[in-house]
């Protein structure tokens, strides 16, 4: 069966999947958690095969760390599933009930999107998290994970799929694509696949966005900023900047550019520069800073670069408006933070910066579905259409309008025989 | 100034537009209503020029009717603006306020999408409605109307723009594109334009969808169905089907295909066929019906065609599941109706049909922003990502996450020094 044939079959089954009551979807999640727990040895064994192969291929240590499915990660994954089960069901929620006229009632009700294709990096916990979120939200899903976790994904998917179907979910609820060619096939499935969620490098996500007619949700780059305003607390500033740069340097929500109010530079920089040195962070800055602190001069390209490394660019700005303009021009509308004790300045910044996340006095690293209390996330969206920021269950839902009448026709309203009275009743 | 330069300037101004309080946006709408009222003679004069040109070009009567901006249509347009002013403001609405931990508060807040490009058909009232909706929702908009309403649009836009800016909206709040070439330019404005809303023919909308990297919201075709179930009321059925076909035959929410339960055919068809004849509706049906009622046999292509004309295709189905499968396969996920007195059958149909609008016992022609109580609409979306069905103010909004901290860093949570407590407080 080709991916297109499979997607067509899923599309036909997707209303059945959408119709599953919360009880069945939660039962499937519980069965999955149980299957993972009971078969952990087989999972770890498969993961060892992936790790051995990765070591043969001289995969860097940082990537090996992501590939490794440790008992701790499995425990976290199972805890994640249990958190999802505990979350309230959002699938058949009435967003409003409106009487348009006597006997004519409009209900706006949430429903799953349908068939979702998720392409994700080589991280075994990602497969568990994504499959669980799709089940909780009543969506069918085609999953394509990174090839470096081939063996681990194969057994994880098999356990998840069997538990899901045994719990009563439709046969076409989930499908695993295993070959790299299948990504191109998947991108051609418009009409059958309702949404593609790609995760991975900037170039990879951009490629997906440019090569499909299916709507794509996600983010290519993540150039996040921290702006230090004139009225700031230096200890908070240094601690937040260091956390945002070093807590997970390769993450999309790590800070890449620091903007500093001209009146703040001389107070902030001596202490911050010491911290940069202590953490081996390379500073590239505007001329005024580079002259005083003996670092490279940042150019236009620096400000447009997602380093994903222990490098940070910095620039002195004359006021908050210059900071906002810089962020709206060079940023990727992901997550940007102001450090200030001035409430009005914070509100102004958070209003004017056109990003999914706008923060005051905290690390950009908080941009994450788990940390937002969503239970889990399928990804982070920098788009403005549909879900924005970390995407949990809500971002995997759409809605439909149900209209209940009793023989109502439009002609009566067009001719003035009847009139709408629009009364929200729920 | 090219469209791209203009769009870039609008993008920079869009946070200012988004920051306008409801009071200023409503003041602008009131000023627009006043300007239209006071300058109606000049508007009608410009409209006469468009009509004269259209008559010279032998434009069909039905189109002339749309081009004509009658005193009644102007009055309706002004009433529409006043309705919008009266609607509650949705722009800076807090969707939730969640304490993640002590002193760390996440707010999910609605905000405008940013810069929207709307390409619409030659209907002067469309320009007024679209501009008003964009202002009410705090969006900047590039408007491109049909060339047949060139003179009318020019004066309407000029009145609207002057009133908007005089009321305090930013200089780049609205822009009118007047040349056809500018559509291609607009489609190249990704990065500056956040959303394109095309209205018009199937082929035109499909062209737009295929030729831009900007997200597109709208619908190409509208193949709407009415399914008559076994337990139905014949008077409601005939009246609804005739209304859905004839009340505005060229509309996207007119019915194109009728599906009839096998047990309902012999009860429904004699009376319905009489009504079809009386309304000069051509029937193309499955063989069993065509033999009895002397009409053409419908083929696969009929079921995939949006006639937009006094033609209807019909098919006998063996049960509700066959009706659902037919609709999910041939339909365009716009609006589909079941006629039944059986509540369970209605709920099943409305659950399983994968369309933006699912109706029981009423005309598909109700699918419209005004009739849903949205005040107005910028279009109808058959997509599932972002807004679905008639798109009013809500569909022109997105949201951002604001996170207020007090020096919070992620490392404390990663290391277990602190724990999230996730408490919804608003």
Cα distances (Å, whole numbers) of residue B355 to B10, B309, B341: 35, 22, 21
Looking up tokens 């790609």, which residue turns up?
A198
Alpha carbon distance A307, B345 (integer Å)? 57
pLDDT at site A321? 97
| B233 close contact with A: CB closer than 8 A | yes
| B405 close contact with A: CB closer than 8 A | yes
Which residues from B are below 8 Å from A236, CB to CB? 406-407
Which residues from B are below 8 Å from A214, CB to CB? none
User: Chain A window 258-297: which residues touch B at a Cβ cutoff of 8 Å?
Assistant: none
Q: How many helices (H) and strands (E) does chain A have?
A: 16, 17
Indicate yes or no: CB of A324 within 8 angstroms of CB of B213: no
User: Chain B window 155-184: which residues touch A at a Cβ cutoff of 8 Å?
Assistant: none
Indicate yes or no: CB of B240 within 8 angstroms of CB of A409: yes
pLDDT digits 0-9 by tens, B370-382: 899 888 889 999 9
Q: Which two tokens stand for residue A360?
A: 């005051």
User: Chain B window 344-373: which residues touch A at a Cβ cutoff of 8 Å?
Assistant: 346, 350-363, 365-367, 371-373
The predicted complex's ipTM stands at: 0.93
pLDDT at site B179? 84
Q: Please tell me which of the candidates A346, A371, A401 has its beta carbon nearest to residue B357.
A: A401
| A204 close contact with B: CB closer than 8 A | no
Q: Which domains does chain A have, with CATH numbers?
A: 3-89+114-218+383-398 (3.40.605.10), 224-366 (3.40.309.10)
Which residues from A are below 8 Å from B409, CB to CB? 239-240, 242-244, 247, 362-363, 365
Q: Strands A94-101, A423-424: parallel, antiparallel or unpaired by DSSP?
A: antiparallel
Extract the residue ranges of chain B whose pLDDT is less than 50: none
Q: Please tell me which of the candidates B389, B407, B420 has its beta carbon nearest to residue A239.
A: B407
Indicate yes or no: CB of A362 within 8 angstroms of CB of B411: no
Do residues A244 and A255 lie in contact, with contact meaning Cβ atoms separated by under 8 Å?
A: yes
Alpha carbon distance A290, B143 (integer Å)? 46
Alpha carbon distance B392, B209 (integer Å)? 21
pLDDT digits 0-9 by tens, A303-356: 999 999 999 999 999 999 999 999 999 999 999 999 999 999 999 999 999 999
Do residues B135 and B24 lie in contact, with contact meaning Cβ atoms separated by under 8 Å?
A: no
Do residues B63 and B122 lie in contact, with contact meaning Cβ atoms separated by under 8 Å?
A: yes
- The verdict on pTM exceeding 0.95 is no
Helical (H) or strand (E) element with B21:
none
User: Chain A window 377-396: which residues touch B at a Cβ cutoff of 8 Å?
Assistant: 383-386, 388-390
Extract the residue ranges of chain A whose pLDDT is less than 50: none
Q: Please tell me which of the candidates A14, A350, A373 has its beta carbon nearest to residue B98.
A: A373
Alpha carbon distance A265, B316 (integer Å)? 77
Indicate yes or no: CB of B358 within 8 angstroms of CB of A405: no
Alpha carbon distance A46, A231 (integer Å)? 54
pLDDT digits 0-9 by tens, B101-130: 999 999 999 999 999 999 998 889 999 999
């Amino acid at each position: 069966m080709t991916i297109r044939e499979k997607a067509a079959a899923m599309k036909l089954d997707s209303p059945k999947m959408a119709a599953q009551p919360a009880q069945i979807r939660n039962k499937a999640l519980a069965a999955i958690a149980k299957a993972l727990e009971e078969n952990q040895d087989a999972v770890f064994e498969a993961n060892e095969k992936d790790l051995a192969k990765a070591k043969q291929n001289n995969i860097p240590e940082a990537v090996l760390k992501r590939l490794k499915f440790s008992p701790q990660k499995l425990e976290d994954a199972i805890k994640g599933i249990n958190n999802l089960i505990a979350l309230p069901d959002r699938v058949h929620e009435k967003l409003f009930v409106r009487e348009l006229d006597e006997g004519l009632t409009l209900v706006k009700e949430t429903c799953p999107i349908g068939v979702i294709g998720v392409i994700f990096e080589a991280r075994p916990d990602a497969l568990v998290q994504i499959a669980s979120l799709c089940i909780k939200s009543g969506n069918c899903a085609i999953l394509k994970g990174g090839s470096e976790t081939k063996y681990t994904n194969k057994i994880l998917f098999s356990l998840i799929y069997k538990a899901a179907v045994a719990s009563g979910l439709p046969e076409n609820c989930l499908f695993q694509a295993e070959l790299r060619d299948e990504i191109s096939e998947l991108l051609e499935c418009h009409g059958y696949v309702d949404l593609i969620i790609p995760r991975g490098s900037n170039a990879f996500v951009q490629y997906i966005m440019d090569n499909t007619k299916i709507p794509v949700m996600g983010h290519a780059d993540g150039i996040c900023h921290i702006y230090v305003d004139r009225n700031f607390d230096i200890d908070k500033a240094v601690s937040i900047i260091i956390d945002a740069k070093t807590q997970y340097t390769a993450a999309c929500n790590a800070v890449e550019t620091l903007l500093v109010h001209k009146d703040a530079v001389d107070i902030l920089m001596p202490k911050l520069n010491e911290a940069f040195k202590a953490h081996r962070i390379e500073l590239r800055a505007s001329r005024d800073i580079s002259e005083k602190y003996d670092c490279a001069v940042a150019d236009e390209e620096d400000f447009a670069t997602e380093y994903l490394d222990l490098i940070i660019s910095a620039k002195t700005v004359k006021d908050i408006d210059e900071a906002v303009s810089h962020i709206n021009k060079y940023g990727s509308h992901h997550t940007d933070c102001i450090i200030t004790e001035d409430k009005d300045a914070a509100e102004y910044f958070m209003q004017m910066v056109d990003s999914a996340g706008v923060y005051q006095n905290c690390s950009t690293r908080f941009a994450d579905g788990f940390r937002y209390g969503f239970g889990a996330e399928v990804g982070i969206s920098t788009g403005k259409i549909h879900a924005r920021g970390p995407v949990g269950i809500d971002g995997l839902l759409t809605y439909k309008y149900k209209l209940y009448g009793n023989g109502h026709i439009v002609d009566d309203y067009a001719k003035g025989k009847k009139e709408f009275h629009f009364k929200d009743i729920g």
